[in-house]
Structure 1
Amino acid sequence: MKKKIIIISIAIIIGFVMMMSLDSSEKSDGVIFHVTLADPQMYENGEYTETFEIESGEYYFRFVPNGSSPEILSISLDGYSIEFFEDFKLENTLHETGISEYYTWEYLGENKITISEDQRVSININPNGNVMGSVSVSILQN
């Protein structure tokens, strides 16, 4: 039991280190939007909203979730020529290596976006009541 707790703790630490390393390399990876939601004060009325400029092109969402992340993460994008909405569902996968067990997490849902023209876009992220769970959300250019 203690080995499982230690392994889970190590996995969480590695996840946080990975999240922090994303901040320094984002611009070179085509990231046009990024937020790490780890503080309930970042939400207003239970939702996070931000506005940003986006150019025409193909984009996709990237998430860095963990076991405490919201089970359903609802995201909408609203702009001059785009209306996007998706409920992303958190799925965990158990990995057994023979000497340890650990979980990985990923959000499932339609994560591709097509922007037909340059515009200002508003993103709304709703953790559906779970403002205590942390998650990073990025939009990257294809």
Structure 2
Amino acid sequence: MKAKFGGYIAIAVGIAVAIGFFGTQNGEIEDKNSIFHVTLANPENYEGGIFTDSFEIEEGTYAYRFVPNGDSPQILTISLNGESIRYLENFILKGTPHETGFSTYYTWKYSGNVGIIITQKQEVKITIDPNGNLLGPVSVDIIKQ
């Protein structure tokens, strides 16, 4: 009887671990500190070559987080405009080569001023300009620090 009960517990634990693992893999679990997210991956994301959106932001300190790859826009221009903020930055895509002995791979990141300070709650308009590269995928988040 004890062995049978222990087997049921082991199965339940295994199922819970599998659900937790696969649940985090599908991207449905959001970063609770992310107040804005967009994945730009094709020309339909842009109007006139530029992505725009509006959202409400609270007072505080924030930072951009990017998920780029080698096909992402070489220059990504982002502006935030609201009642008390005027922000504009050109982020430059930088690749860092890594040697493994038999191959080379790259990691990618955008360099630029990622910090944002918001002095009061307000509606802001974000504009993301890929400077002509509408096909290169990139995800952009604004994270509360």
Q: What TM-score do you get using the length of structure 2 for normalisation?
A: 0.80
Deviation of 1:39 after TM superposition, in Å, equals: 1.5
Asked if 1:52 corresponds to 2:28, the answer is no
Once the 2 structures are TM-superposed, how far is the Cα of residue 38 of structure 1 from its aligned partner? 0.4
Which 5+ residue runs of structure 2 have no aligned equivalent?
Answer: 1-23
Residues 66-99 of structure 1 show CA distances to partners (whole Å, capped at 9, x for unaligned) of: 0100000000000000000000000001000213
Secondary structure of 1:73 counterpart: strand
Measure the CA separation in 2 of the matches of 1:37 and 1:76.
16
> Quick check: 1:132 aligned with 2:135?
yes
Q: Which runs of 4+ in 1 moved over 3 A?
A: 20-23
Instruction: Find the aligned partners of 1:109 and 1:21 in 2 and give their Cα distance.
Output: 29
Q: State the percentage of identical aligned residues.
A: 53
> What is the aligned partner in structure 1 of residue 100 from structure 2?
97
- 2:84, 2:27 → 1: CA distance? 29
Q: Provide structure 1 residue ranges, at least 5 long, that are not aligned to the other structure.
A: 1-19
Q: How many residues were matched structurally?
A: 122
Larger radius of gyration: 2
Residues 1-142 of structure 1 mapped to structure 2, 5 A cutoff: 21=25, 23-28=27-32, 30-142=33-145
Question: Quick one: which amino acid aligns to residue 58 of structure 2?
Answer: E
